[in-house]
Amino acid sequence: MTKRKAALCFTGGKDCTLALHRAVRSEEFDICLLVTFAPANMQKFKAHPMSVVEMQTQSIGIPHKVCLVDGPDFLGSYRTHITGLKEEYGIEALVTGDILDVCHSFMPRAVETTGVELVRPLWEAPRSEILEDIWTQQFDVLVSCLNITKFDSGLDIESFVGKKLTRELLEKVREHNVKSGLDVDLAGEYGEFHTMVLDAPLFKSKLDATGGQIIRDGDFAYWSFSKTEPYDKERCSSVLTDGWWLDSSYKNWQPAGCMMHTYKPQEIEDCFTGTRILFVGDSVVRNQFYGVAKLINPDVDTSGEKHTDRRLGYEEAEFTLEFWWDPYLNSTRTLSMLEGQNSDKAPNLVVFGTGLWYLRYEGEDAFSGWKSAVDKVFDAAKMPSPIAHSLLLSPVEEPDYDHLNQDRAVTIRPDAVQMMNSYLENQVSIMKPSPARLVVPFAWNLMSDNIGDVSVDGLHFNPTITAMQAEVLLNFKCNDQLPKTFPMDHTCCYRYPITRWYQNVIFFVILICVPFALYLRSSEKPLFNSSLYRLIPSEKALTAAFMFGIGVVYMYFCDRTTLFAKAQKQFDPTVFGILILVTLVAGLVTMKSSKREGDQGFLNRDQTDEWKGWMQIIILIYHYLAASGTSGIYNPIRVLVAAYLFQTGYGHFFFFYKKGDFGIARFMNVMVRLNLLTVVLEYAMNTNYLSYYFTPLVSFWFIVIWTMMYVGNAYNKNPWFILGKMAVFMALTTYIIKGDGIMKGIFDIFEFLFNIHWNPVEWQFRLSLDAWIVYIGMLCAFITIKFGEMKISERPQWPMIKRLSIVVSIVAMIWYFWFELSQPSKIEYNVYHPYISWIPIISFIILRNATLKLRNTSSTIYAFIGKCSLETFIGQFHMWLAADTKGLLVVLQPAGWVRGLGWWINMFVSTALFVYVSYWLSQSTGEITTYLCSKSPAPEAGRQHNATGGQDGVPLLPTNLTPEEQQLRIENEEVLVRPQKRGLLDSVDFIWQDLRLRTFQQVIQDQAYLGQGSKAKSTYPPVDPHAYWQHNQVSHLPYWRIMQTPTSNQTAYLYSWNAKRRHWRRTKLNL
């Protein structure tokens, strides 16, 4: 029997797919075409996305055609298309998946006069039979749309939309009907829901619909099918199709899910060097041509005859920018180019645009004439030999209808423009990729949608809009050609660089080596002998290393892959004020008094942790909202950075002065703790050490403080000596920082020796802003110590001094804010900042410690952030902010939802993840540092106290210990006994301590006090060793002579040292 040719109405749903299955199985019909009758306004076809329909038809392997139908005569439109299908394909029948007559016999009337038979294999079949057949044939059906009005208001949408149509799901529908009293059709025949088939017996491959999202639109809920959308792996679709303005001045356009790059003239020339860029179309396209030209040269001449060609040549870059006036896209040269017959050099990029002239002058034939013109463009994109490297077709511009003159308003109607753009959307969704991919930047129309008065005549928008349209074009075309180095602040149409060998090594160690070592360490039966087994770090250290590594890998995926979207920053004073207010309230409600009794002391640990915490939160908000452009906010933030450095000077000076521990172990402990995360990120993210400016800043000043306190440390207790050293080092560092060419010379040496490329200008700027605040911190620590020693607070004048200092601090604080707000710009403020930053800092310290209650009270939430402030500052670069701090990380999907309320939700979710990861990074970094750098013993025994009897001043690093644990650690550090197990760093530290330079006088004095040497015996009377121990605690004796003896047997200790003194003296003389 001869099969009859037939076309099948196909929308991708369960009914039409089952009808196709039965028609093919019947062997009566030869289904030669799948036809989709779609509304001209494709927005009404969301339940059956055309991109998914096209994938279905490709999987089935039957040709597919889309026929756009439009009103008001829908019946006539159907008949025209059916007749055309009969003539073009020779069909005799039209098969549909209709089950019931829900449209007043629409399809039978549509085929009445066409001579095509209507075939309905499912007509009036029981719904239960249809559903059972679907399940029997193992159809994979997804609910793609839900009409919410057809269901009870308490329906859980997420349990239906995006779910597979199974017996269990329909059982829920039955239960819903019983509870609600509604009669929802189990097959959705009355529009209750729509479906899309992902797999069926006729499909060659299954469609993947995972990763989609539910989208609410009025009374309907749709499944987005995000993973089935074409060519958006590099977020090109984001920049071309969706976006919104972030500011009221229309200068910051936010594409959905990516960050745009603002192009400089040289970058544009580099992108198009040796090429030809062509614009073809009407006056709208001419404006876009000038938009690109003005980005290269803002003074380009735009005068002259309007309806004529333009050509701009750039000799240095050897590229040309051309415009062809062809409002109908039907000139001979345009058609020749579209047919591939143009003998000229193929352009790198061609931008076509038309539509408004058809509407203005072609009357009823406007749509058909325009459709014919753009179809030629789409056909050209499918040619085997591309006519250009890239093709871009401008959407039909949506005018500012309120500003159109009367003649234009009559013919250029919103419905006509919408129908044209809907056709373009449909063609783009069904177009197969070609060597010269054609894209339609619908985002261009969104830029001018409901934004106010940006057009004089309603057709031609002002340069702000056309410049941003040009930026979108450049981001689409040129982003992937930009250097793939940090900061990677352009993520639209951008492929991240592949990992380098050292990045692969880091990830291999984190993801393979550390877990394997952890497995070996935790296994009950060691796989190696005891000698090799000792090389494996402890389980605690390995666990910390793994946690640390996972944090680094998380940051890599956040900021070096397309897994997470990125968004641009925009300062909003209202949002800034709200976040600062929330921060203040959170701090106040978490205030609590210390559990320890008595005065906790001036600048005690809880207080400094709190101080670091609230400063860190404000700095994070400042970065998140890009508030650096506001001078009144930037200036106080500079003071907060200076306050961190003040704490560095204060804490380290206090520690070295009180403890006198200048050992290698102490030095390395601080340096590793400060730099571990930064150095690993520098290589893992392929960035620059100085880009994480806070770490190198505090590291530099720590080295300065350590060096200053070490040099001549035997005389550190002499006030004039220590103050003199401060003055000398202040002059020396100022000369290095501000001296012409000194920093550049140092960096040139680094570059020559280590191939390190650092920016001396930027680093000099960072250092010079706070060139003296560290010394102010050290001076404050010295004064605090002397106040305690002199017991100033116990003198009768103290109450008056305290009240006066409080009054002066209040006045100074008020003066500072008046001064910084009165500065015309932050550049001029920076000139004064190094000289005045100490004023608000000292004022705050005095006010914060004014009373016992204030000293003993602190905020737990601020202190929590303060203890991991180093990790939050460094981690923000890649897992809270994005693009190396240039943008914001988007953790919600879809990325286009992150606006309005979605922006706030994304911020809170990303903040929670950021703080959580930062906390564990802090914990693990501390543990790794402890493993790598064992603490050296303190050279001075005995308990030390600060001025007010509180805790010792220690370097203000992030701490992970409770106050009780911190106090216990201090006590343990003060025990003068060598550890039983010593690591390599301990051994190096002991040797270092032996090599510490001492004066010859001190060596002679050591001998004299121990009763050795004829000169000593004649000069100094013998001293009882017990009395000498109690008085001086032999603090200056070398560590490697400290024997492992009980601390109670000091006499034996002294005699043991005395027996070895000659060797020690020879070591000194040899040195």
How far apart, in whole angstroms, are the C-alpha atoms of residue 281 and residue 354? 6
> SS3 for 193?
strand
pLDDT at 808 over 90: yes
pLDDT at 229 over 70: no
Q: Which of 76, 143, 87, 148 is nearest to 112 (CA)?
A: 76
Q: 121 phi and psi, to 5 degrees?
A: -65, -20
Please answer whether residues 143 and 162 qualify as being in contact, where contact means their C-beta atoms are separated by less than 8 angstroms: yes
CA atoms 441, 444, 445, 447: torsion sign: positive
Residues with catalytic function? 283, 457, 460
SS3 readout for 1040-1064? HHCCCCCCCCHHHHHHHHHHCHHHH
Mean pLDDT across the chain, nearest whole number? 83
- What is the rounded average pLDDT of the residues 334-363? 87
DSSP 497: P
Q: 856 phi and psi, to 5 degrees?
A: -95, 5
Please answer whether residues 935 and 973 qualify as being in contact, where contact means their C-beta atoms are separated by less than 8 angstroms: yes
| pLDDT greater at residue 453 or residue 338 | 338
pLDDT tens per residue across span 158-179:
788 888 888 888 888 888 888 8
pLDDT at 937: 40
For residue 232, what pLDDT band results from cuts at 50, 70 and 90?
low
SS3 readout for 663-705? CHHHHHHHHHHHHHHHHHHHHHCCCCHHHCCHHHHHHHHHHHH
Q: Which of 35, 144, 31, 80 is nearest to 430 (CA)?
A: 35
CA atoms 959, 963, 964, 968: torsion sign: positive
Written as six digits, the tokens of 412 are 């250029």
Side by side, the strands of the sheet bearing 64-69 are 64-69, 29-39, 4-9, 93-95, 117-119
Residue 682 CA: distances (Å) to CA of 295, 504, 686, 763: 34, 14, 6, 17
* 38-52, 251-265, 447-461, 866-880, range with the lowest pLDDT: 38-52
pLDDT at 1038 over 50: no
Q: Right CATH number for 4-228 from 1.10.357.10, 3.10.28.10, 2.40.50.100, 3.40.50.620?
A: 3.40.50.620
Q: What is the DSSP string of 380-418?
A: HHTSSS-SSSEEEEPPPP---GGG--HHHHHHS-HHHHH
What percent of the chain shows pLDDT beyond 70?
83
How far apart, in whole angstroms, are the C-alpha atoms of residue 309 and residue 898? 42
pLDDT at 1: 64
- What is the rounded average pLDDT of the residues 626-643? 94
Written as six digits, the tokens of 190 are 């009355």
Residue 960 CA: distances (Å) to CA of 543, 609, 924: 16, 11, 10
Q: Is 501 exposed, middle or buried (0-12, 13-18, 19+ CB in 10 A)?
A: exposed
- Cα angle, residue 440 at apex, residues 436 and 444 outer, rounded to 5°: 140
Peptide bond into 483 cis (omega under 30): no
Written as six digits, the tokens of 268 are 């544009």
pLDDT at 259: 93
| pLDDT greater at residue 78 or residue 935 | 78
pLDDT at 1053: 41
Contacts of 605 (CB under 8 A, 6+ apart): 951, 954, 959, 963, 966
For residue 527, what pLDDT band results from cuts at 50, 70 and 90?
low
Question: What number of other Cβ atoms are within 10 A of residue 893's Cβ?
Answer: 16
List b or e across 326-353, with b for residues whose CB sees 16 or more CB atoms inside 10 angstroms. bbbbeeeebbebbeeebeeebbbbbbbb
Please answer whether residues 52 and 196 qualify as being in contact, where contact means their C-beta atoms are separated by less than 8 angstroms: yes
pLDDT at 210: 65
The third-level CATH classification (topology) of the domain covering 236-481 is Rossmann fold (3.40.50)
For residue 1071, what pLDDT band results from cuts at 50, 70 and 90?
very low
- What is the rounded average pLDDT of the residues 862-889? 95
pLDDT at 257: 86
Enter the pTM of the model. 0.74
Please answer whether residues 404 and 205 qualify as being in contact, where contact means their C-beta atoms are separated by less than 8 angstroms: no
For residue 548, what pLDDT band results from cuts at 50, 70 and 90?
very high
